[in-house]
Amino acid sequence: MRTSTATAVAIASAATGLALGYRFFARNACLTWGATEAEAARALPGDGLLTEPDVVTTRAVTIAAEPEEIFPWLVQMGSARGGAYTYDWIENLFGLNMHSADRIMPQWQQLAVDDVLPLGDSGPRMRVAILDRPHTLVFVSEDKHWVWAFELVPTTGGTRLISRNRIAAPDAALPQRVFTMLVMEPGSLIMESKMLLGIKKRVERVAAALPAVVTKAPERREEGPYRPVFPTRTIDV
């Protein structure tokens, strides 16, 4: 009995130490991989769609290309579309039907505000809330608990691709919140860093040889029902 008790105490102490170590020494690096302090701190389009998130990640990468060459790769993302440019085999373990494309597909460029992209058959349905070619693309889940924003910012030597996730879990119990912090957050870094680097690899490989196919937006302006709390460029195609 004493041995069992001592083992349980040791395991609990180790788990507590791991949680505290991650929380205070590694969590910020995990949540802001690739992003500068300024990028992580500044407001992005879509922030106003979820004002009280439980988790915010801001991750980024520099791509040696113009925004016009990168944006089509973002537009075609999704299940049974262009995939997510990450580990397809992991995505498909969860039935997400992801098959990452290695070229721009014209049939998947017709994305518009209010379009809904399901993530697999049982995953969340993501609605296009803001679309501003070639700078901003923001999705919001239909339950309003997840906002995923992409921002393309020209910089010296190329473009910064910034990805921000704002996630709320209002009904999550303490064990679920601990699991999210210790397992889901590092897991999301593995998947999202692969995605950002996957986009970078694809864009830079074809940018010099093959111009990106960008569907021209019509002159009329069509707006969806979602409004950020600060001015932003929002167009429909």
Q: What is the pLDDT of residues 2-31, one digit of tens each?
A: 555 544 444 444 445 445 455 555 799 999
Element (H, E) at 160: strand 158-167
| 177-195 per-position pLDDT tens digit | 888 888 989 999 999 999 9
Q: What is residue 123's predicted lDDT score, i.e. its pLDDT?
A: 74
Return left, alpha or beta for 120; rule: phi > 0 is left, psi -120 to 50 is alpha, else beta.
left
pLDDT over 70 at 173, yes or no: yes
**pTM for this prediction:** 0.78
Cβ–Cβ < 8 Å for 84, 77: yes
The predicted model gives 167-178 an average pLDDT of 89
Cβ–Cβ < 8 Å for 131, 234: yes
The predicted model gives 26-49 an average pLDDT of 96
pLDDT over 50 at 80, yes or no: yes
| 95-134 per-position pLDDT tens digit | 888 899 999 999 999 999 999 987 877 778 899 999 999 9
Cα 47 to Cα 11, 142, 166, distances in angstroms: 39, 16, 8
Q: What is residue 149's predicted lDDT score, i.e. its pLDDT?
A: 98
* Low-confidence winner among 4-13, 77-86, 145-154, 164-173 (lowest mean pLDDT): 4-13
The predicted model gives 76-89 an average pLDDT of 92
Q: Please report which confidence band the pLDDT of residue 142 belongs to, taking 50, 70 and 90 as the band edges.
A: very high
Cβ–Cβ < 8 Å for 116, 142: yes
Per the prediction, the chain carries an average pLDDT of 83
Q: How far apart are CA 93 and CA 153, in angstroms?
A: 34
Per the model's pLDDT, the better-predicted residue between 92 and 189 turns out to be 189
Tokens of 44: 């992005």
Per the model's pLDDT, the better-predicted residue between 225 and 141 turns out to be 141
Q: How far apart are CA 163 and CA 153, in angstroms?
A: 11
Q: What is residue 34's predicted lDDT score, i.e. its pLDDT?
A: 97
Rg (CA), the chain: 19
Q: Which residues of 195-211 are buried (b: 16+ CB within 10 A; e: fewer)?
A: bbebbbebbeebbeeee
| 188-225 per-position pLDDT tens digit | 999 999 999 999 999 999 876 655 455 454 443 344 44
